[in-house]
Structures are given as C-alpha cells and as structure tokens.
Amino acid sequence: MDAFNFTLQALHVVAAIVVLIEAMNKLERCKLRAGDGLRQQALVVLKAVAWACLAIGAAGAFAAPLLRGIGVGWRDYGWLVSRANLGDVATMIGVAVIVLRSRLKERVTGRAVDV
C-alpha cells in the first residue's frame, strides 16, 4: 500500500473512532418520555436511528483494517473488509469534524449543543 492510501485509511480509522464514541454517547442519551407528544417521540426515534447508523458505519470502518490484518478474506467477506475510498473517508471526517466542533462549542459556551 502506498503512502497516500495508508494515510487515507489511517484518517478513516481515526475519524471512525471519534464518530463511534460520539454515536454511542448520543444513543445512550436518546430516551423516550411518556409525557412527550407524538411529534417529539418521532424526533427522538429518528435521532436514535441516525446515530445507530453512524455507529454501525463507524464500527465497520474501525473493524475492517483489523479484520484484513488477521486475514479475513475478500472472497467471503468483501463487503465488510473493503478499503475505504475517498468518499467514505471524506464523509467520516466530515461527521467527526462536526462532532469535534460541537464539543468545542460546548466548552466555550458552557451549554450543550444538540447534534
């Protein structure tokens, strides 16, 4: 693997770790409340589904290089161990930057930012 591809894969894994941690944190805090209206409950469910999808994608991005490293083959599990392309990396980095920006904004303003 050349230096560019290695850097791309490394950035993808680092961004995936940030996204996975934040997604698990957000999923833990998504709670339906009995007193909320149907619209509010629907928003909470949609938010949970979005963060669950991000968590699954980030976990896959984190696990793929590890699975390739232990010899999981392309023939049987190609959908799981394929290398990230530029679009995958840019998307994961974009979400990670949004997460980090929100965390920094929380520290500066002292208020929680809802992402």
Render each residue's pLDDT in the chain as its tens digit; 115 residues.
688 888 988 999 999 999 999 999 999 988 888 888 899 999 999 999 999 999 999 998 998 888 888 888 767 777 677 788 888 999 999 999 999 998 898 888 887 766 6
33 is a domain residue? yes
Identify the CA nearest to 103 among candidates 18, 14, 10.
Answer: 18
90 is a domain residue? yes
By the 10 Å C-beta count (0-12 exposed, 13-18 middle, 19+ buried), 12 is classed as buried
What is the three-class DSSP state of 110? coil
Number of domains in the chain: 1
53 is a domain residue? yes
Residues 6+ apart with CB under 8 A from 20: 55, 58, 59, 62
Which residues span the domain enclosing 94? 3-109
114 is a domain residue? no
Separation between Cα atoms, residue 59 and residue 13, nearest integer Å? 9
The pLDDT score that the predictor gives to residue 24 is 95
14 is a domain residue? yes
65 is a domain residue? yes
The pLDDT score that the predictor gives to residue 113 is 65
The pLDDT score that the predictor gives to residue 93 is 94
